[in-house]
């Protein structure tokens, strides 16, 4: 079986599990669970019993995870502001009701 030639970015390299764990802060079980859920980059078999991950895919996952966290944080802030405005309107209505009584 011959080797196929494909375009690989000059910087591309493989990361083994300990490095993936250190880079992401995830434990082994979480990495494999998320791989099964297709929410984490898939490993690549590089030997009979050896797997690794593409560094570029791990980096992209980290960037996407940060962006998603920031998006959720902003959504939560908007929701909190909306709730606060509703509370202020309710307090204002209660004040009007008390004054009218």
What are the tens digits of pLDDT across the range 16-68? 999 999 999 999 999 999 999 999 999 999 999 999 999 999 999 999 999 99
Sequence-ordered list of residues with C-beta below 8 angstroms from that of 16, at least 6 positions apart, any chain: 50, 52
Q: Of the candidates 72, 34, 40, which has an alpha carbon nearest to the alpha carbon of residue 53? A: 40
Give mean pLDDT, residues 81-91.
89
Res. 1 pLDDT band, cuts 50 70 90: low
Report the 10 Å Cβ neighbour count for 101.
Answer: 5
Beta carbons of 55 and 20 less than 8 angstroms apart: no
For the entire predicted model, the pTM comes to: 0.71
């Amino acid at each position: 079986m011959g080797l196929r030639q494909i375009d690989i970015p000059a910087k591309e390299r493989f990361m083994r599990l300990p490095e993936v764990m250190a880079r992401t802060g995830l434990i082994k079980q979480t990495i494999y669970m998320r791989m099964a859920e297709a929410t984490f980059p898939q490993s690549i078999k590089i030997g009979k019993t050896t797997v690794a991950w593409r560094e570029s895919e791990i980096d992209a996952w980290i960037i996407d995870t940060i962006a998603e966290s920031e998006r959720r944080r902003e959504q939560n802030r908007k929701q909190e502001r909306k709730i606060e405005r509703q509370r202020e309107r309710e307090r204002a209505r209660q004040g009007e009701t008390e004054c009218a009584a």
